[in-house]
Chain A
Amino acid sequence: MHLRQGRGQVLVLAALTISLAILSTQAYVYQRSRARYSTDYSILSDYVLSIEQGSRHVVVASLINVSGGGGASNLEGNLDRWEALVVGDYRFGRCDLNTTLASQLPYSDGVWLDWGTDGKGVSSAFADFTLNLSGRGVGVEWSFDVNASTVVLVSGYWKPTHTNETLVTVIIDLLNDGEPALASNVTVAYWRSNEWNDPSVLPSYSMLDYGNGTYRCSFIDVIPDTPIQVRVQASDRRGVFVQAEASLPER
């Protein structure tokens, strides 16, 4: 009789035991999944990302220097310094960073400056990188390239006014790595009397910033030379300088 009465309690106790077994197994699996592998991997990937980011900064810094009048060898020199700094970092074992400067045309020593007279000016630097990490249980080979460029596009037109003067309108588009970018400085000059003249001293001068990398400059002056030649010099927010000249048609 007692055995029959206790059978139900045994059933409940068995269910309780099974429940505890399920929960403890699941908790154990959860605890094991919290191993440090995920965080170590996170730090490693962040480290690789920081080296890639730093490499980009070095290329941009070199482009700022070269476009501002520095020697093209500055890129190589700066990358050598960066490589030496990275190689000296043994956090994840041996760390090697190898750089190859773009040498195919139009690049030379990793730099391409083309400040043309066809309405387009380019300042660009290009380098390939290979990062190797080895030792301390880590083996990473990561290849990436950095292409930093600033492009200015110049277009526009001119038309005579009723006072026999010339109204000149210049449209300037600035691009960073193919995307519209803001300028920190834009200056326009026009060709008259065998020299470049500054239109910002004219009372009719205006420069409109559309806020999306497009600028519109207009001014009125007596300009006998046609087609009108203009020159635009611009620096983007990073400090990379670029220049372009254009012949504006009559509208």
Chain B
Amino acid sequence: MIESRRGAIHSMEAFLAAVLIFTALLYSTSMPRERDRAEKSIDAVGMEALLRLDGNGTLGRLVEAQSWDPLERSLRVVLPVGVSFNLTVFSDEGVPVNDRPISNGELVGRTVASVEYLLAVESGSCPLYRLRLQLGG
């Protein structure tokens, strides 16, 4: 009687060990192997945002028209929530162009990064600009 109970306990222990190893294997295979897009560095996020705005010519039009409010709103839309930004527009000679801050407040966050973007505008005089986007997040 005692022998059969002991056997049952051993079986339970072996089963428990098998379950442990199986669960570990299951978790390890479901673990992602590559960094996903949500974990991109903040400067990559900023670069992508500017690239997206420039793709359809919006960025160039707004900068050329000095429409700082719409530009600020566009950046708020394309940048993720929780990312603070401050954009400065320089002419190709390095002179600041924007006469008011283009930002959503002070730069806050654990990481602060700066992205520079060279901009050519589809306009008859072909104005060139250098944009500096500072990001915090």
- Complex CA gap A70/B43 in Å reads 39
Listed stretches B26-34, B67-75, B78-86, B97-105; interface member: B26-34
- Complex CA gap A39/B55 in Å reads 21
Is residue A34 within 8 Å, beta carbon to beta carbon, of the partner chain? Answer: yes
Number of chain B residues close to chain A: CB under 8 A: 46
- Complex CA gap A196/B93 in Å reads 46
Q: Which residue of A lies closest to B18 (CB)?
A: A15
Q: Which residues of A are found within 8 Å of B92, using beta-carbon distances? A: 81, 85
Asked if B120 and A58 make an inter-chain contact with CB atoms under 8 angstroms apart, the answer reads yes
Is residue B108 within 8 Å, beta carbon to beta carbon, of the partner chain? Answer: no
- Complex CA gap A54/B63 in Å reads 14
Pick the contact of B9 from A8, A14, A39, A91 — CB < 8 Å? A8
Q: Which residue of B lies closest to A29 (CB)?
A: B33
- Complex CA gap A56/B124 in Å reads 14
Asked if A64 and B13 make an inter-chain contact with CB atoms under 8 angstroms apart, the answer reads no
Asked if A85 and B124 make an inter-chain contact with CB atoms under 8 angstroms apart, the answer reads no
- Complex CA gap A19/B17 in Å reads 9
- A62 to chain B minimum Cβ distance, whole angstroms, is 6
Asked if B20 and A19 make an inter-chain contact with CB atoms under 8 angstroms apart, the answer reads yes
Q: Which residues of A are found within 8 Å of B44, using beta-carbon distances? A: 39, 42-43, 46
Q: Which residue of A lies closest to B41 (CB)?
A: A39
Q: Which residue of B lies closest to A34 (CB)?
A: B35
Is residue A197 within 8 Å, beta carbon to beta carbon, of the partner chain? Answer: no
Contacts known (A23-B28, A64-B123, A85-B92); A49 close to B51, Cβ less than 8 A: yes
Asked if B20 and A81 make an inter-chain contact with CB atoms under 8 angstroms apart, the answer reads no
Is residue B25 within 8 Å, beta carbon to beta carbon, of the partner chain? Answer: yes
Asked if B28 and A36 make an inter-chain contact with CB atoms under 8 angstroms apart, the answer reads no
Asked if A61 and B120 make an inter-chain contact with CB atoms under 8 angstroms apart, the answer reads yes
Is residue A134 within 8 Å, beta carbon to beta carbon, of the partner chain? Answer: no
Asked if B13 and A11 make an inter-chain contact with CB atoms under 8 angstroms apart, the answer reads yes
Q: Which residue of A lies closest to B32 (CB)?
A: A30
Asked if A22 and B25 make an inter-chain contact with CB atoms under 8 angstroms apart, the answer reads yes
- Complex CA gap A22/B60 in Å reads 52
Q: Which residues of B are found within 8 Å of A70, using beta-carbon distances? A: 124
Asked if A239 and B122 make an inter-chain contact with CB atoms under 8 angstroms apart, the answer reads yes
Q: Which residues of A are found within 8 Å of B41, using beta-carbon distances? A: 36, 39, 43
Q: Which residues of A are found within 8 Å of B57, using beta-carbon distances? A: 57, 238
Pick the contact of B28 from A22, A38, A51 — CB < 8 Å? A22
Q: Which residues of A are found within 8 Å of B39, using beta-carbon distances? A: 34
Pick the contact of A54 from B20, B34, B119 — CB < 8 Å? B119
- A77 to chain B minimum Cβ distance, whole angstroms, is 9
Is residue A171 within 8 Å, beta carbon to beta carbon, of the partner chain? Answer: no
Q: Which residue of B lies closest to A15 (CB)?
A: B17
Asked if A38 and B31 make an inter-chain contact with CB atoms under 8 angstroms apart, the answer reads no
**A-B pairs with beta carbons under 8 Å apart, 18 shown:** A11-B13, A18-B24, A20-B24, A25-B28, A26-B31, A33-B34, A33-B35, A34-B39, A46-B47, A46-B48, A49-B51, A61-B120, A74-B126, A82-B120, A89-B116, A91-B116, A238-B122, A239-B122
7 pairs of A and B residues whose beta carbons are closest in the complex: A19-B24, A15-B17, A8-B13, A61-B126, A26-B28, A57-B120, A78-B126
